[in-house]
């Protein structure tokens, strides 16, 4: 008996329907325990602090300082040349200073914009890893289902040939078939056993891959229900439009160009004058005197304007201009790359649907043919052992092809959704 749970999966204006709650469980587990994804989470937190650092450049800075000095003077001689003894003086100084940047040629503003762009870039980098994790987790799950079904199909085939060999031995004794017919059955049994061993090995490998990706033990009794439906974009045009808007790799390329523009603006601003306002208050006390104290308050405005720095700033401006042009070229290349990848993903998806339809027709025909040929053979009609072997081989091939086509269709849909930036955990949880 198989259990079935429908999960409505929404991606932007798309919704995805998952017919297996286990798939979602393993996706969630993988997302929580994937070390690369966890590293990206920490990276997001670190980069977010850059924004706070940039904001601090607009705020005043406060400095408080204090000192205490003890001075002892000995062997003092007055004007007459007579010793007058020793003196000791203790002084204490307290100072508070406030600095406020008034203008920096918009360096602070552009640095703040840059830090926010860097955080947005990190979010898209995180999204790439998240999408890969989801895609790999689901793919591993349904590959495990496919390999499990392939193993079961081959085991059933071994059982059928074992029964045929026993039947053919009995029929040989009755003179109904030849020794050649029995040899063909025994050869087919040996081949079926070899195929089962291969399928069992592939299933074991699929388990290992599943556990590597999801970082959890594979289920002992995996649900073999392939039903999973996606409400996909209806046209290539809509898929291309969505990928242009939401593909994280393309977004990163755009952000890199924007960052280089802000870096160029920062370098240009370094040639502009800057102004700083300073207020300080200093209190001095002579602790060794009865009353000896003074206070000083100072307000100072400073304006600086770099005129000549050996051409350093001009070279930096040229450098960032070249970097901007580089990122513009990389963006154009990435746009073309994503367009091609999305088109390929769409073609793969359309092809997978067609292949599934063909394998379903193939399976239906193979089942009918095998049933008829087996009945005819068992009734002693003109059907030969070779006919039975061929029909069973075709049926096995059709079953495996159909199961694989179902898996490939799921993977093709995941691949296309990844291209349009639509795979994330929030989408899974949306009813």
101 half-sphere exposure, CB direction, 13 A CA radius: 17
Mean pLDDT of 253-268: 93
Q: Is the pLDDT of residue 352 over 80?
A: yes
Mean pLDDT of 167-172: 88
Model confidence band, residue 190 (pLDDT cutoffs 50, 70, 90): very high
Q: Is the pLDDT of residue 5 over 80?
A: no
Q: Which of 27-31, 221-225, 414-418 has the highest mean pLDDT?
A: 414-418
Which is nearest to 266 in space by CA: 327, 323, 310, 308?
323
Whole-number average pLDDT of the chain: 84
Secondary structure class of 95 (helix, strand, coil): strand
Model confidence band, residue 63 (pLDDT cutoffs 50, 70, 90): confident
Model confidence band, residue 127 (pLDDT cutoffs 50, 70, 90): very high
103 vs 191 pLDDT, higher one:
191
Q: For residue 175, what pLDDT is reported?
A: 85
Model confidence band, residue 228 (pLDDT cutoffs 50, 70, 90): low
Q: Which two tokens stand for residue 104?
A: 């920096």
Q: Which two tokens stand for residue 215?
A: 């970082």
405 vs 224 pLDDT, higher one:
405
Q: Which residues contact 357 (CB under 8 A, 6 or more apart)?
A: none
Model confidence band, residue 224 (pLDDT cutoffs 50, 70, 90): low
Domains of the chain are: 7-70+108-422 (1.20.1600.10)
Mean pLDDT of 360-374: 94
66 vs 363 pLDDT, higher one:
363
Is residue 399 within 8 A of residue 153, CB to CB? The reply is yes
Q: For residue 84, what pLDDT is reported?
A: 59
Q: Which two tokens stand for residue 412?
A: 């093709």
Which is nearest to 265 in space by CA: 109, 119, 49, 50?
109
Q: Is the pLDDT of residue 267 over 90?
A: no
115-124, 308-317, 387-396, range with the lowest pLDDT: 308-317
Residue-wise pLDDT tens digits, 290-307:
556 778 888 888 888 887
Mean pLDDT of 422-429: 63
C-alpha 314/C-alpha 310 separation (Å) is 9
Mean pLDDT of 126-151: 93
Model confidence band, residue 222 (pLDDT cutoffs 50, 70, 90): confident
Q: Is the pLDDT of residue 2 over 60?
A: no
C-alpha 425 chain-centroid distance? 11
Is residue 140 within 8 A of residue 209, CB to CB? The reply is yes
Q: For residue 162, what pLDDT is reported?
A: 93
Mean pLDDT of 223-231: 58
Query: Percentage of the chain surpassing pLDDT 70?
Result: 85
Q: For residue 330, what pLDDT is reported?
A: 96
Instruction: Report pTM.
Output: 0.79
C-alpha 335/C-alpha 242 separation (Å) is 13
Mean pLDDT of 178-197: 93
Q: For residue 22, what pLDDT is reported?
A: 67
Query: Percentage of the chain surpassing pLDDT 90?
Result: 50
Strand pairing class (61-77; 83-103)? antiparallel
């Amino acid at each position: 008996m198989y259990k079935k749970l429908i999960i409505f999966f929404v991606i932007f204006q798309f919704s995805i329907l998952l017919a297996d709650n286990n798939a979602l469980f393993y996706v969630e587990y993988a997302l929580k325990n994937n070390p690369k994804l966890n590293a990206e989470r920490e990276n997001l937190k670190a980069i977010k602090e850059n924004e706070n650092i940039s904001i601090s450049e607009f705020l005043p800075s406060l400095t408080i300082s204090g000192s205490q000095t003890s001075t002892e003077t000995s062997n003092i001689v007055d004007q007459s040349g007579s010793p007058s003894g020793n003196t000791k003086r203790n002084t204490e100084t307290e100072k508070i200073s406030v600095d406020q940047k008034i203008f920096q040629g918009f360096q602070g503003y552009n640095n703040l914009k840059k830090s926010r762009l860097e955080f947005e870039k990190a979010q898209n980098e995180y999204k790439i890893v998240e999408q890969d994790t989801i895609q790999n987790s689901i793919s591993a799950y349904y590959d495990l289902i496919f390999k499990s079904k392939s193993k079961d199909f081959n085991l059933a085939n071994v059982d059928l040939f074992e029964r045929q060999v026993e039947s053919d031995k009995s029929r040989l004794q009755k003179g109904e078939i030849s020794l050649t017919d029995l040899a063909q059955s025994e050869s087919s049994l040996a081949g079926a056993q070899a195929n089962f061993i291969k399928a069992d090995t592939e299933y074991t490998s699929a388990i290992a891959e599943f556990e590597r990706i999801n970082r959890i033990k594979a289920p002992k009794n995996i649900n073999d229900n392939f039903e999973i439906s996606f409400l996909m974009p209806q046209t290539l045009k809509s898929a291309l439009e969505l990928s242009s808007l939401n593909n994280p790799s393309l977004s990163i390329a755009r952000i890199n160009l924007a960052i280089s523009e802000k870096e160029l603006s920062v370098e240009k601003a370094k040639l502009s004058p800057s102004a700083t306002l300073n207020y300080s208050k200093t209190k001095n006390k002579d602790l060794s005197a009865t009353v000896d104290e003074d206070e000083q308050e100072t307000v100072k405005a400073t304006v600086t304007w770099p005129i000549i720095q050996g051409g350093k700033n001009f070279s930096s401006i040229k450098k960032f201009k070249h970097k901007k042009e580089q990122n513009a070229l990389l963006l154009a290349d990435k746009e073309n790359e994503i367009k091609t990848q999305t088109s390929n993903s769409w073609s793969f998806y359309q092809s997978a649907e067609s292949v599934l339809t063909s394998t379903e027709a193939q399976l239906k025909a193979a089942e009918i043919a095998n049933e008829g040929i087996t009945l005819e053979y068992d009734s002693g009609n003109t059907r030969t052992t070779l006919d039975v072997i061929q029909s069973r081989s075709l049926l096995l091939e059709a079953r495996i092809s159909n199961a694989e086509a179902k898996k490939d269709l799921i993977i093709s849909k995941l691949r296309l959704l990844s291209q349009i930036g639509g795979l994330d955990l929030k989408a899974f949880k949306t009813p």
